[in-house]
Amino acid sequence: MSFRRNSRTDHLLAVVDQALNLDNLNAAVARANPAQTLTSPEPTAHDRRLVAGLMRINHTGEVCAQALYLGQAAVAESADTRAHLLQSAREEHDHLVWCDARLREIDARPSLLNPLWFAGSYLIGAGAALFGDRVSLGFVVETERQVEAHLDDHLGRLPLADARSRAILETMQREEVEHGQHALNRGAIALASPVRTLMGACADVMRFVAYRI
Ligand SMILES: [Fe+2]
Ligand SMILES: [Fe+2]
């Protein structure tokens, strides 16, 4: 019992530490950046504003995804579901590192509100997981489906010459599809339509705010 309490406390402290250190990512533990062998020309002032806004949204999206899955993992019923969520969260951390690197390359900053997005997403993830593993996995499927669609939109809006941002978003999109597929394979159930609509509305708010702040 005391071991469980200690491990929960450790988990909570690790999560708080992560939320407070979103600007000091541990790039050393991330997989290789998909853009590492590519070059992109210096963007024009107009393109820089666009790419900064899009990559800031993606950066915040990865903050949210990572926090959601950590929250879900904290409440997961089975060890298998928890392991799946933690593996996805590790990959979202890599996506976060890659988006962060691209933002720095073009002299842009991440969203100032990321600690708030992290905290809110963690609580939403933990709340979703209270409804059981299959609902929680359904939440993953719907999250990843919406992220995949939003990445499609961003890939269509990126300047054609921006090969570095494109390589990062394409790799992320491929892995988001895998995250959703793995959740489906583990028995995810489809969420009710109003819940999916609400999730989409929350993502719209996040995109609107993160593009600007
Ligand atoms: Fe991701
Ligand atoms: Fe994902």
Find the 151 Cα to ligand 1 centroid distance in Å. 10
Per-residue CA distances from 63 to 78, 79, 171 (Å): 24, 24, 17
Structure-token match 């990559």, residue found:
55
- Check residue 11 and give its pLDDT: 64
Average pLDDT value for residue range 140-155? 95
Q: Give the model confidence (pLDDT) of 3-38 as tens digits.
A: 555 566 666 666 666 665 666 666 778 899 999 998
Number of domains the chain is built from: 1
Q: What's 166's domain CATH number?
A: 1.20.1260.10
Find the 164 Cα to ligand 1 centroid distance in Å. 17
**Does residue 22 lie in a domain region?**
yes
pTM (predicted TM-score): 0.86
**Does residue 70 lie in a domain region?**
yes
If one compares 60 and 22, the residue with the highest pLDDT of the two is: 60
Q: Give the model confidence (pLDDT) of 84-103 as tens digits.
A: 999 999 999 999 999 999 99
**Does residue 137 lie in a domain region?**
yes
Structural domain of 16: 2-26+48-212
Q: Which helix or strand (DSSP H or E) is residue 116 part of? A: helix 114-129
- Closest ligand to the CA of 181: 2
**Does residue 43 lie in a domain region?**
no
Q: Is 171 exposed, middle or buried (0-12, 13-18, 19+ CB in 10 A)?
A: middle
**Does residue 85 lie in a domain region?**
yes
Find the 172 Cα to ligand 1 centroid distance in Å. 6
**Does residue 89 lie in a domain region?**
yes
pLDDT at 123 over 50: yes
- Closest ligand to the CA of 182: 2
